[in-house]
Amino acid sequence: MPETGWGVVRRALRRNRRLLSPYVALLVSWQVCEALVPVVIGLTIDHGVATGDGSAFLAWAAGLCVLFAVLSYSYRFGARFGVRAIEGEVHELRSEVAAHALDARGLRTDRLAGETLSLATSDAEEVGYALRMAGYAAGSIVAVGIAAVVLLRTDLLLGLVILGGLPLCLAVTQVATPRIGRRSRVQQERAATSAGLAVDLVRGLRVLQGIGGQSAGAARYRVASGETRDAAVRVAGARAALAGLAQVLSGLFLAVVTLLAGRLALEGEISVGELIAIVGLTQFLAEPIAILADMSAQLASAVASGRRIVDFLASPHLPAGAADPAGATSHGATRGTTLSLAGVAHGSLRGLDLHSPPGELLGVAVADPADAQALVRLLGGDAHPDDVVGDVCLGGTPLGDLEVGVRRGTLVVVPHRVDLFEGTLRSNVDPWGRLDDDALDRVLLASAADEVLALRPGGLDEPVSASATTYSGGQRQRVAVARALAADAPVLVLHDPTTAVDPVTEQRVAAGIHDLRGPAAGDLTTWLVTCSPTLLARTDRVVLVRGGRVVLEGTHHDLLAHESYRETVLR
C-alpha cells in the first residue's frame, strides 16, 4: 500500500496502464486533429480558394472531413477507455476502504461512519479523476508542441513567442497550487465530518426526539455544515482565482500572438491562409493551456484525497491472538465458558474484579454510563491492549490472545446502539440461516419480536431497508435481542437491550431471556449490563459497579435494601 497521497496517484496510473495506454493515445490523436483543423482550413484557402483550383479545393475539403471523422471517433473511443480506467480505479479504492473497515479483526479508529463513507465515495472519485487528467494533459502537451512547430515553420518569432510564453503562463499559475491542495484537504475533512454527523443525526433522530434533543443535534450539525460550506467556498475561490489567472494570461498571450500574426499578414510575409491558420491555432491553444493550468489543481485535490485514504488504511486493526478457550471453534460450539475480569482499569473503570461461572445469568448495574460503555467496549474487543490494565479472560484465556473468529463465536457482545441491515427480518434475526422454524419461533417469542412481525404483512420475509428507518427504536431493539438469542453463544453480553420498549414488553423480554439463557439453559453464561429493575430481577446475581469497581453484590431483592443500589436502578 502506498504511504503518501502521491503514491496513491502513481499506483493508480501504474495499475491502469493497460486501459490508459489506448486512452492517452486516442486523446492525443483527438488533440492533434483539433490542432490541425485551422492548419487544414488555411491550406484549403491557399490552395483551393485563392488559386481557384476546384480539384484542389475538393481534395483539401475531403481531407478536412477525414480529419473531423478521426477527431470525433478518437475522442469517442478514447473517452470509453478513460471512463473504464477511472471507474475501475474508483472501484478498487472503494473495495480497499470497505475491506479495511469490514475486516474481521476490527478497526481502531475514531472516524464516524459518514467519514468512512466519504472516503469510499468523494475521495476515491477525486483520485480516479487524476487518471482523466493523464489523457487530457498528454493530448494538450502534444497539441501545443504541434502548434509550436507549425508556427515556427511559419515564422520563427511567432514560434519563439509560443515556446517562451506558454511555460511562463504555466509557471505563474502553479504558484497557487500548494494553497489549493491544503484548502482541498481541509474541505474534504470537514465534509467528511459533517457527513458523519448527518448519518448519526438521522439514525438517532427518534432518540433525540424522545429526549427533546433534536434542536441541539441540529445545531451541532449546522455548525459543522457551516464550516464545510466555508471551506468549500475557500477552495472554490482559490480554484476560481487560478482559473481566472489562467484566462487572463492566456488572453494576453493570445492577443500578443494575434497582433504579431496580423502585422506579418499586412506586410505580406504570410498568406491569407497562413493568417487564418495562425489565428485558429491561437484560439485553439486557449483550451490546452487551460487544461494544463487546471491539471495542477486537480492533482492537488487527488493527492489530498489519496493522503486521507492512506491515513485511513494505515489505522491499525485490533489485536488478535491464536489461542482457543478450552477448545472452542470459530462457531462458538463450546459451552461452559467462564468470563472474568481481574483488576481491570480501562477508561473510567478502576480495578474492576468480576467473575462469572458457566451458566450464570448475571446483572451488572452500573451507576455511571461511562463505566458501562468502557465495560462493553472492553468485552467487545474494541480496546487496545496498551489502554488496558489487568486481565480479561474468556475460558481462562486472555481475551487479547484469542483468535478473532474464536472469540466472536464464543462471546457475543450486543451494544446498546444496534443496527439492522438491509435484507429481510429473517436475515436480520438469523443471518446464517441455521435455525429451523421452531427455533426461530422461540427466539422471536423470547424477544417479543413476534409483535414486530405481526405488524408487518410480509412476516419474516418483510424487507428491511438500510438502517431500518421504517422501524421504531423499540422494534429495532427487539429484533436485535432476537438476533443475539439466535446466535446461541456460550457467553452473551447485552447492554441496555430494552430502553426503547414499554414496561409490558420489557417484562416479556426479561422473562424470555431468563427462559432461554437462565438456569434451564444449562451452561450458557449471560451478562445484562443494565439499570433496569425488570431485567435485574430475573438474574441469578447482581453486582453494582460504582466508581469503576464492584461495590455491592447479591440478588436484586437483597440489594434493594441498599440506598446506593436503589438510587442506581430506581432513578
| Eight-state DSSP code of residue 204 | T
| Rounded Cα gap, residues 384 and 380, in angstroms | 11
Model pLDDT, residue 504: 94
Q: Is the pLDDT of residue 235 over 70?
A: no
Top-confidence residue, 453 or 105 = 453
Top-confidence residue, 155 or 58 = 58
Q: How confident is the model at residue 248 (pLDDT cuts 50, 70, 90)?
A: confident
**Residue 5 · residue 307 · CB < 8 Å:** yes
Model pLDDT, residue 231: 67
Q: How confident is the model at residue 111 (pLDDT cuts 50, 70, 90)?
A: low
Grid cell of 150 as nine digits:
507549425
| Rounded Cα gap, residues 538 and 523, in angstroms | 17
The H-or-E segment that residue 394 falls in is strand 389-394
Q: Is the pLDDT of residue 65 over 90?
A: yes
Mean pLDDT in residue range 373-386: 84
Top-confidence residue, 246 or 305 = 305
Mean pLDDT in residue range 495-511: 94
The structural architecture, per CATH, of the domain 325-569 is: 3-Layer(aba) Sandwich (3.40)
Top-confidence residue, 10 or 205 = 10
Rg (C-alpha) for the chain, rounded Å, is: 34
Task: Map out the domains of the chain as residue ranges.
Answer: 5-313, 325-569
Grid cell of 252 as nine digits:
494576453
Q: How confident is the model at residue 329 (pLDDT cuts 50, 70, 90)?
A: very low
The H-or-E segment that residue 414 falls in is strand 411-414
Which range among 101-105, 409-413, 442-446 shows the weakest confidence by mean pLDDT?
101-105
| Rounded Cα gap, residues 12 and 17, in angstroms | 9
Strands in 541-546's sheet, in edge-to-edge order, are: 411-414, 491-495, 525-529, 361-366, 541-546, 549-554
Model pLDDT, residue 513: 96
The H-or-E segment that residue 349 falls in is strand 349-356
Grid cell of 168 as nine digits:
511562463
Q: How confident is the model at residue 252 (pLDDT cuts 50, 70, 90)?
A: confident
Model pLDDT, residue 332: 43
pLDDT digits (tens, 9 = 90+) for 253-294: 777 777 877 777 787 787 878 878 877 887 787 778 777 767
Q: Which CATH class is domain 5-313?
A: mainly alpha
Q: Which of 17-21, 190-194, 323-327, 468-472 has the highest mean pLDDT?
A: 17-21
pLDDT digits (tens, 9 = 90+) for 137-186: 888 888 888 887 887 787 777 777 766 776 676 666 666 555 555 555 56
Model pLDDT, residue 333: 44
Model pLDDT, residue 214: 57
Model pLDDT, residue 385: 76
Q: How confident is the model at residue 320 (pLDDT cuts 50, 70, 90)?
A: low
Q: Is the pLDDT of residue 234 over 90?
A: no
Grid cell of 477 as nine digits:
431493539
Q: Is the pLDDT of residue 207 over 60?
A: no
Mean pLDDT in residue range 396-417: 85
Model pLDDT, residue 148: 79
Model pLDDT, residue 218: 66
Bridge-based pairing state of the strands 361-366 and 525-529: parallel
CB-count exposure of residue 119 (10 Å: 0-12, 13-18, 19+): buried
pLDDT digits (tens, 9 = 90+) for 515-563: 999 888 878 999 999 999 999 999 999 999 999 999 999 999 999 999 9
Average pLDDT, the chain: 82
pTM: 0.60
Query: Could you give the percent of the chain with pLDDT greater than 70?
Result: 81
Q: Is the pLDDT of residue 405 over 80?
A: no
Mean pLDDT in residue range 321-342: 62
Model pLDDT, residue 146: 84
Q: What would the 3-class secondary structure string for 22-81 be? A: HHHHHHHHHHHHHHHHHHHHHHHHHHHHCCCCHHHHHHHHHHHHHHHHHHHHHHHHHHHH
Model pLDDT, residue 328: 46
